Amino acid sequence: MWESLDDLMRNVDSAWVLCGDLNEVREQTDRLNYVFHQRRATWFNEFVARNNLTEIVINGKKFTRICDNGIKFSKLDRFLVTYKFISLWQDLPVNALERRESDHCPIVL
């Protein structure tokens, strides 16, 4: 998946925002009571670096996905933006809302 996004981002010069459930974590502290896969995190972090993406910090929650009756926690939902995006819209807050129907917390930019 990351290679396909690399190609798309390389061919479309724009202010990019990648958001939502990216289904990967960036570091071990993004998981609690889950197995952490260093190789997958490395691939994800390399994608972020190659595309000069910056993660906007989510206010309100450390973890955005809770499963197995509240035993497992992950930070899978993110807002990753390009510097071009940041130059157009600075100081935009990202907030995690309370989880209701889904196992993910909604995030709002």
Average pLDDT over residues 10-37: 91
pLDDT in tens, 55-72: 998 888 899 998 878 899
Entry pTM: 0.87
Strand, helix or coil at 19? Answer: strand
Q: What is the CATH number of the domain that holds 102?
A: 3.60.10.10
- Quote the CA–CA distance of 43 and 93 in Å, as a whole number: 27
pLDDT in tens, 18-31: 998 999 999 999 99
- pLDDT confidence tier of residue 50, bands split at 50, 70 and 90: very high
Predicted confidence at residue 84, as pLDDT, reads 92
Domain with 71 in it: 2-108
Average pLDDT over residues 90-99: 87
Give me the number of domains the chain comprises.
1
- Quote the CA–CA distance of 75 and 44 in Å, as a whole number: 13
Predicted confidence at residue 80, as pLDDT, reads 94
In angstroms, what CA-CA distances link 61 with 10, 26, 27, 87?
A: 32, 16, 16, 26
Predicted confidence at residue 101, as pLDDT, reads 84
